[in-house]
Structure 1
Amino acid sequence: MSGGVDSSVTAALLLDAGYDVIGVTMRLSEESRDADPNDRSCCSLSSVDDARRVSDVLGIPHYVMDFTAPFQNSVVDYFLYEYQRGRTPNPCIACNRYIKFEGLLNKSKNLGASYIATGHYACIQRGADGLYRLRKGADTDKDQSYVLYHLTQRTLAHILLPLGKFSKEEVRRKAETYHLPVAHKAESQEICFVPHDDYKTYLRKKRPESYAPGDIVDGMGNVLGRHDGISFYTIGQRKGLGIAAPHPLYVTALDASQNRVIVGGADAVYASELVASDLNWTMWDNLSEPMEAQAKIRYGKREIRTRIIPQREGSLYVCFAEPQRAATPGQSIVFYKDDIVLGGGVIDRVIS
């Protein structure tokens, strides 16, 4: 229970369904807990208080579990390391994978719980073949199946996602019906451990070595300007380059080995192919044959038809039916068949 409306309604719905419910708030990071009294992120003290108030209204026990050490190792350190490598990480996916659906699930099992439940907008269904299928949420604007591609058959068997069939508006109306104090609480879109969502300042503070100026070059290696550190740039970026040019320039690649930011025209931002690794499949252990699927290269992006070709070293070669803008190393690519999540991986290399 993060203290938001989604997890709060999740608890209420499960109570109505006859489950014995315990509310758990995960203590993840100290970074923003006391810095801002108005902070409403999932790590803030105010959100812990909100979760406790909701638990009191529902009449369920509420506990706070300390996950600060694994969160630091698996999420924060990964976040900082990826930026230093010239990649763009997704800390929310890392948190879901290693903290919520691994750490919390294991700790909950030790307490005797059969399931963990979250307020994600996605669905889990068990088929006649006994396999669990992760499906998109009914609310297409809120569907969060993209960030859950790492779930396996082992974990899907112990997860409940009761909000998958509802829209956000329906969830808020249900919160009002249950008289929950967070019915109209605003959503937080920020990275919970980064104060004020200012990741550049955070990087300078935590990894001052990331502030390493270098050259901005074109595709031929010609020096066009200087940058403050490759960690502060991302693929597709146009603003903040400080270069006078007769046509718009965009960041097309980040070369960590040479500490260079590579720029080019608008066409150079599009990719036709990529290589992905760190793979996970929701219904089988591995992919052995080429296949066709729909794919998303970032949360909020539309799906595109792709051909997936497994490689010997455990990576994937992905070919897009049409070029995709700003495919970014470090971000996840997730594969679908209709509304079913097949799995996904992390983008390693982009091919124009």
Structure 2
Amino acid sequence: MRVLAAMSGGVDSAVAAARAVDAGHDVVGVHLALSRMPGTLRTGSRGCCTIEDSMDARRVCDALGIPFYVWDFSERFKEDVVDNFIDEYSQGRTPNPCMRCNEKIKFAALLEKAVALGFDAVCTGHYAKVIEDAEGNRELHRAADWAKDQSYVLGVLTHEQLKHSMFPLAETPTKAEVRAEAEERGFSVAKKPDSHDICFIPDGNTRGWLEERIDLEEGDIKDTSGEVLGTHRGARAFTVGQRKGLSIGRPAADGKPRFVLEIRPKTNEVVVGPKEMLAVDEIRGIRESWAGLPISEIQAFDASDPGLGDSSASFDVMAQVRAHADPVPATAHVNIGEVDGETAREIVIRLGEPLKGVAPGQTVVLYQGTRVLGQATINRAYSLSRPDVVS
């Protein structure tokens, strides 16, 4: 096969490309330039798209004896990931830029270009597994190493995209083994730190970064009874579950810390309360997609030409709301209802165990066993037993 290896400049993509070469594929390496003003050097494990990263990727390709190119995707990245991140926060939601990058850049823009150029697959260093069922349909599954499993951030992949996806690290027991293999191959990236946090905010100060890009106005901080406790510099820079940065100035009556329970962008208010009020047992998601063919309950529902008020059959899942969070048992169904004043599909997920700090804008990924069924963007999350917070 002709394989395009996406080379980030890190150890995982380096070893993934090497294994694709070892498997006998015709491999070409490509590094994605996602910033118009890349830094010269990384700062430890922060930052991305630096000149150092592209040079590291080139050195690996030279060692493997494969061609290497740099493709400029900076405009697409700005529009689909960075601008989306700003827009979501401006509407009081908490987005996941890694999900958008995988969806819009690595497995949309990159894959589209690769297929157009005659490549059969895109190879990445993600820890996830693609398995074919008895009919040859591809399914996305967790990697062998659950500690490094990245199937959550790949939950946005579609049936067509999985046909052209290759993850050579799927069966690797540990990250230590990947580093040891890189060292044996003589790759300079063998001990390079893993990247973390938001790549386009290398100093990690998300609030400060947003304050330069979103119009923030002072507003009220309220408790669950509606009492005004203080003021904030802009509701849109907060996220549900946040504890730091409230600056209320006086403790709660019970002396316990307060957490952000709700963000109201229309009234520019932040509602706070005790940690236990963060617990939710129902999530409603919009803009769902299915990783591989949808399960039978969804296929049957779609074939019925559903209308307003219709629901699919319920199905058992494990629901995960963060990349490294533990999944919890749940039941789910798809419903056609009123969402933000319009008729739309939503996934209704009833959790078997409560989750805390679930924010609109985050992504919920659904599993059955190790298989990724699909994902949706969280629109609402609440406790069915808790009275509504006073407006």
Residue among 231, 234, 245 paired with 1:229: 234
Residue among 86, 93, 97 paired with 1:91: 97
8 Å contact from structure 1 (residues 26, 67) kept in 2: yes
Q: Distance in 2 between matches of 1:227 and 1:290?
A: 42
Report how many residues are paired: 349
Q: How does 1:69-218 map to 2 (within 5 A)?
A: 69-166=75-172, 167-207=174-214, 209=215, 211-218=216-223
- For residues 278-323 of structure 1, give each alpha carbon's deviation from its aligned partner in whole angstroms, at most 9, with x where no partner exists: 1011233582321111110111111101110211131111111121
Q: Distance in 2 between matches of 1:102 and 1:144?
A: 18
Q: Please state whether the residue corresponding to 1:79 is helix, strand or coil.
A: helix
- For residues 133-160 of structure 1, give each alpha carbon's deviation from its aligned partner in whole angstroms, at most 9, with x where no partner exists: 1010111110000001111221111110
Gap regions ≥5 residues in structure 2:
1-6, 302-312, 337-343, 384-391
8 Å contact from structure 1 (residues 30, 193) kept in 2: no
Residue among 250, 253, 260 paired with 2:262: 253
Q: Distance in 2 between matches of 1:336 and 1:241?
A: 36
- For residues 70-107 of structure 1, give each alpha carbon's deviation from its aligned partner in whole angstroms, at most 9, with x where no partner exists: 11111010000111111111001100001000100111
Q: Please state whether the residue corresponding to 2:212 is helix, strand or coil.
A: helix
Match of residue 304 from structure 1: 328
8 Å contact from structure 1 (residues 30, 43) kept in 2: no
8 Å contact from structure 2 (residues 317, 331) kept in 1: yes
8 Å contact from structure 1 (residues 41, 47) kept in 2: no
Q: Please state whether the residue corresponding to 1:272 is helix, strand or coil.
A: strand
8 Å contact from structure 2 (residues 236, 265) kept in 1: no
8 Å contact from structure 1 (residues 330, 348) kept in 2: yes
8 Å contact from structure 1 (residues 3, 42) kept in 2: no
Q: Which amino acid in 2 is paired with 1:236?
A: G
Deviation at 1:220, TM superposition (A): 2.2
Match of residue 386 from structure 2: none
Give percent identity, aligned residues only: 40
Q: Please state whether the residue corresponding to 1:299 is helix, strand or coil.
A: coil
Q: Distance in 2 between matches of 1:345 and 1:43?
A: 28
1:274 pairs with 2:283: yes
8 Å contact from structure 2 (residues 111, 122) kept in 1: yes
Deviation at 1:17, TM superposition (A): 0.5
Q: Distance in 2 between matches of 1:22 and 1:42?
A: 21
Residue among 242, 254, 259 paired with 2:247: 242
Q: Which amino acid in 1 is paired with 2:222?
A: V
Instruction: Give the alignment's TM-score, normalised by structure 2.
Output: 0.86
Q: Which amino acid in 1 is paired with 2:267?
A: Q
Deviation at 1:174, TM superposition (A): 0.9
8 Å contact from structure 2 (residues 157, 291) kept in 1: yes
Instruction: Give the alignment's TM-score, normalised by structure 1.
Output: 0.96
8 Å contact from structure 2 (residues 211, 237) kept in 1: no
8 Å contact from structure 2 (residues 258, 275) kept in 1: yes
Q: Distance in 1 between matches of 2:243 and 2:47?
A: 29
Gap regions ≥5 residues in structure 1:
none
1:64 pairs with 2:70: yes
RMSD between aligned residues: 1.5
Deviation at 1:41, TM superposition (A): 3.2
Deviation at 1:35, TM superposition (A): 7.0
